[in-house]
């Protein structure tokens, strides 16, 4: 592997629960700066059209949520970026509105470093038992004054940043 690949910083945009309001996200205007775009469901068809229109298929990885009607698209995926394992799900099938026990258990079972989920519309980030549990929030926040997406940076098999970008 070349030195360039060792020093590569992967920049990843994460969002969920767009529910038809994708154009409200200011961060999508500069999508060329991201290496990956991860979508966690509820609004999948609109996001898929946007991905195709902007020729982002090579950067896009998505799962569907409980409000999506795309049975051919998986509800959960385990991906790997620079040896960091990321479990993606909408979260409803793991009852994340109640607690994080089920999603944490699943993440441990599959060896994930990060579990990403939406569904609640609340931005959240905690670190439990060596696993980052991360909800990017929503552009339609419930009971909050701000909308949010997630941002992840990975370099040399390490998580440099995992944070919320608010607007």
What's the predicted TM-score (pTM) here? 0.93
Q: Which residue has the higher pLDDT, 166 or 30?
A: 166
Query: Number of folded domains in the chain?
Result: 1
The answer to the question of residue 40 being in a domain is yes
SS3 147: coil
The answer to the question of residue 1 being in a domain is no
pLDDT, tens digit, for every residue of 68-108? 999 899 999 999 999 999 999 999 999 999 999 999 999 99
| Confidence class for position 139, pLDDT limits 50, 70, 90 | confident
Q: Which residue has the higher pLDDT, 71 or 9?
A: 9
The answer to the question of residue 157 being in a domain is yes
The mean pLDDT of the chain is 92
The answer to the question of residue 25 being in a domain is yes
Give me the CATH number covering residue 146: 3.60.21.10
The answer to the question of residue 52 being in a domain is yes
Measured between alpha carbons, how far is 146 from 123 in angstroms, rounded to an integer? 10
pLDDT more than 70, % of the chain:
93
The answer to the question of residue 2 being in a domain is no
Are 25 and 151 a contacting pair, CB within 8 Å? Answer: no
Beta strands across the sheet bearing 60-62 = 60-62, 36-39, 9-15, 148-155, 158-166
Query: What's the rounded mean pLDDT across residues 123-147?
Result: 90
Name the residue range of residue 39's domain: 7-166
């Amino acid at each position: 592997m070349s030195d360039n690949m060792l020093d590569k910083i992967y920049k990843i945009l994460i969002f969920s629960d767009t529910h038809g309001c994708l154009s409200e996200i200011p961060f999508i205007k500069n999508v060329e700066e991201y290496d990956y775009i991860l979508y966690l469901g509820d609004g999948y068809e609109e996001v898929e059209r946007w991905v195709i229109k902007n020729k982002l298929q090579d950067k896009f990885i998505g799962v569907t949520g409980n409000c999506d009607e795309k049975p051919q698209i998986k509800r959960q995926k385990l991906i790997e970026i620079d040896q960091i394992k990321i479990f993606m799900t909408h979260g409803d099938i793991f009852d994340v509105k109640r607690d994080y026990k089920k999603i944490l258990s699943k993440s441990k079972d599959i060896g994930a470093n990060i579990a990403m989920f939406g569904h609640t519309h609340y931005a959240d980030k905690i670190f439990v038992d060596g696993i980052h549990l991360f909800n990017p929030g929503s552009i339609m926040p419930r009971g909050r004054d701000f909308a949010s997406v997630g941002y992840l940076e990975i370099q040399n098999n390490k998580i440099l940043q995992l944070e919320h970008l608010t607007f």
